[in-house]
Amino acid sequence: MGIISAILALSFLIFFHELGHFLVARMFGVRVEIFSLGFGAKIFSFSHNNTEYRLSLIPLGGYVKLKGEIQPQDSYQNLKKNVIDMHNENLIYAQSIGDSLNDKHPLQRIIILFAGPFFNFLIAFLLYLILIITQGVHVANKDSIIGSVNKDFAAYNLLQPYDKIISINDLEVKTFQNIGEILNQDSLQDKDIGNIRHKQEFAKIILLRPKQLESFKASCDKTLTYADDSHMYQCDTSNANAFEKMEIKIPISIYENKKVLGITALTKIHYPNIIESLILSYDYTKNAIMMIYDGLQKLIAGVIGFDNISGVIGIAEISAKAYQSSFTSFLLIIALISVNLGILNLLPLPLLDGGQIVFTTYEWITKKPIHQNVANLLVVLGFSFIVGLMLLGVYNDITRIAENYK
């Protein structure tokens, strides 16, 4: 069921992307020749307002074909015919009667091309908004109170939820953020990381542990304070007799080149009003865009290896696992994938929306379209590059699955 849900969700995201192109193209009077639900062989079709609506064999997303739009198969055929003749004045745009993509002002074309990725960002925004309204958001407590301890870290058997850390290595801890700041006062070098892993380093922690856990939980639920325009709640720790003061030596772990204990802050569910929800949804979408953009930068710079690229198998696997975990996790993953799809389509590769936007911007600035042979060559090269990336992603997925079964 998880795999089926993942495939349907991915198909919906692709379909929604194409729907963006379709609606905005129709708004600007561009003829949409084909709007297909699915890919491959045509199973069923009908025509309405000069558009052929198709149901195709492979139910993975869909596509639209706009009049005057560059198609990779057309570019390949044209390239074979004119590969030597770079002075040919037969340019990229076909003759039309005003309803072609290429008859429109460059700004209108750019808007049409951007509509697909924008719809992907929009659906992520809406998913975040739905989750915030229905599920609320977790807000951290103002104090240094532990919410959970990760079982994969060394501190798992020593720290407990609702422990309040008051000092680390004789340095006072006032907020949860102080914990990371104290542990990482000095930036770690590779040799330091190796020393910590081979010769275990400990942190001396003094904490307060509730004697009556249920009454302490109740004090956290009743007390809600607001600070720095953020919703933060504070638990009642004023009754010293309700706590046991303890000193513990905690093994320090290394995660992403930082010293950590493997703990998260105690949080409370807060239900924002509609204005707050809209702002938070925008922030979540923006953060997702920046995270994926940062990942692409690291990939190009070589900080992240190409073995981290996942294909459709990996994406479906992650989505299926999220579905099995919870429906909320599933929607969060789908929102992130939708943003990913939008960002990838804005890459300046000729076959993608981003590449077509570059072509159109070039025409807008120079007042003439890019030469047909140049466009054909770039489209074919871009198509080859995209197929290569897809194959690499599938190879990485299969390799990872095979290693997990060893």
| Catalytic residue ranges | 18
Torsion sign over Cα 44, 47, 48, 51: positive
Where are the extended beta strands (E) located within 49-176?
51-66, 137-140, 146-149, 164-168, 171-172
CA 161 – CA 32 distance, rounded (Å): 58
Burial 317-354 (b: 16+ CB within 10 A, else e): bebbebbeeeeeebbbbbbbbbbbbbbbbbbebbbbbb
CA 277 – CA 286 distance, rounded (Å): 14
Q: Look at residue 84 and give its three-state secondary structure.
A: coil
Closest CA to 39 of 68, 62, 17, 71: 62
Are the C-beta atoms of residues 260 and 180 closer than 8 Å to each other? yes
Closest CA to 84 of 368, 376, 363, 356: 376
CB count, 10 Å around CB of 94? 12
CA 272 – CA 130 distance, rounded (Å): 12
Phi and psi dihedrals of 302, rounded to 5? 85, 5
